[in-house]
Amino acid sequence: MMAHMFQITIGQTFSGGFIDFVLFGILQGNEKTNWLMVPVIGIPWFFVYYFSFSFLIKKFQLKTPGREDEESGVVIRNKTERAEAILTGLGGADNLTNIDCCATRLRVSVNDVGQINEDLLKQTGSRGVVKKGNGVQVIYGPDVTIIKNELEEIVGEK
């Protein structure tokens, strides 16, 4: 909204990051994009966002990543045990209808979301679980492709 009010017209591709800012903002010229207003607006908004969200997170004890109540302390390290535990945490092979992944998340479709054991999944190194309908996303980070392959191997055996 602020960018529109100040007539900032910087294009972007995938992420709208620094490279896009340089290519589609600075190199296009200020007359065309009004890019000089970005720091004028961005710096104050950084402080507004930072302090308001820091206050709200602390005041209401919001559970952002890294601020969970308890750590189980038990992390399964062995690859075979980990894959078996993930399968159990997802409700078993009969509960799974599809297994996939993106860059950081194991994405599975399940028959019954109620069979998901989030505590067990956290013991396997998961950083969080997102449930939406019959879809479950378990956040593991960049090793998720290896985990997906291990899980598919075990499900294929059963």
Residues carrying an active site annotation: 102
Give the ranges where the chain is alpha helix by DSSP (H).
2-5, 18-21, 30-33, 37-59, 79-89, 118-123, 144-157
Q: Give the Cα separation of 94 and 67 in Å (integer).
A: 33
Length of the chain in terms of residues written: 158
d(CA 28, CA 38): 14
CA atoms of 101 and 107, how far apart (whole Å): 5
Beta bridge partners of residue 107, listed in sequence order: 100, 137
